[in-house]
Amino acid sequence: MDILISSNLERLLFELTGHDDVRISQWMRELQQNGYYEVDKQTLNQVQELFWADYSSDAETKLSINKTWNEEHYLLDTHTAVAMDVYRKYQMATGDDRAAIIASTASPFKFGKSVAEAILAPEIIKGKSEFETLRILADAAELQIPEGIRNLEDKKIRHSAVTAPEEMENTVRLLLDN
């Protein structure tokens, strides 16, 4: 996930700098003021020794869902599919064949359309609503739609406002005041 201000990253940098709160505070101020910060070479080298990174395109994410479904009969959500794809890329790039744990982060039904597109023939879901697609996906995967999602289509829509980015602050204030 691409999170600009990550408290986990801030904590990691704190550990890597030997708990140098002054340096961490400076970097966080630079981020707030400039939209970015640069760590020193030693800290960067430590991060690069500890981490390996890559990304997955939408097509690669769907392929990861499909491959895992077909090989393991496990239905991945899109976020976990990215983790699986990047892990496979890591293995290919490094030759590291040690066992690893990839923790699933969400229900595949939270991303039903994308997951369905990954494992089902296009004509099966073409023209179907999100909720119809979820039911088709559940039947195909022999899984239950989670309760929190299952009855969503019966819920009243509470907010339908559309706002331009420059009006976002005012819109949020209006919604909070009501």
Do the domain assignments include residue 167?
A: no
Do the domain assignments include residue 75?
A: yes
Burial level of 23, CB count in 10 A (0-12/13-18/19+)? middle
Q: Domain check: are 43 and 127 in the same one?
A: no
Do the domain assignments include residue 161?
A: no
Q: Domain check: are 118 and 34 in the same one?
A: no
Task: Give the tens place of pLDDT for each residue, 130-154.
Answer: 999 999 999 999 999 999 899 899 9
Do the domain assignments include residue 171?
A: no
Task: Give the tens place of pLDDT for each residue, 3-59.
Answer: 567 788 899 999 999 999 999 999 999 998 998 999 999 999 999 999 999 999 999
Q: Domain check: are 73 and 140 in the same one?
A: yes
pLDDT at residue 2 greater than cutoff 60:
no
Do the domain assignments include residue 87?
A: yes
User: What residues make up the domain containing 29?
Assistant: 7-50
So what's the pLDDT on residue 139? 97
Task: Give the tens place of pLDDT for each residue, 160-178.
Answer: 878 999 999 998 898 888 7
Q: Domain check: are 62 and 33 in the same one?
A: no
pLDDT at residue 1 greater than cutoff 90:
no
Rounded to whole angstroms, how far apart are CA atoms 19 and 13?
8
pTM of the model: 0.76
Q: Domain check: are 82 and 36 in the same one?
A: no
Do the domain assignments include residue 162?
A: no
Domain count, the chain: 2
So what's the pLDDT on residue 90? 97
Q: Domain check: are 66 and 146 in the same one?
A: yes
Burial level of 5, CB count in 10 A (0-12/13-18/19+)? exposed
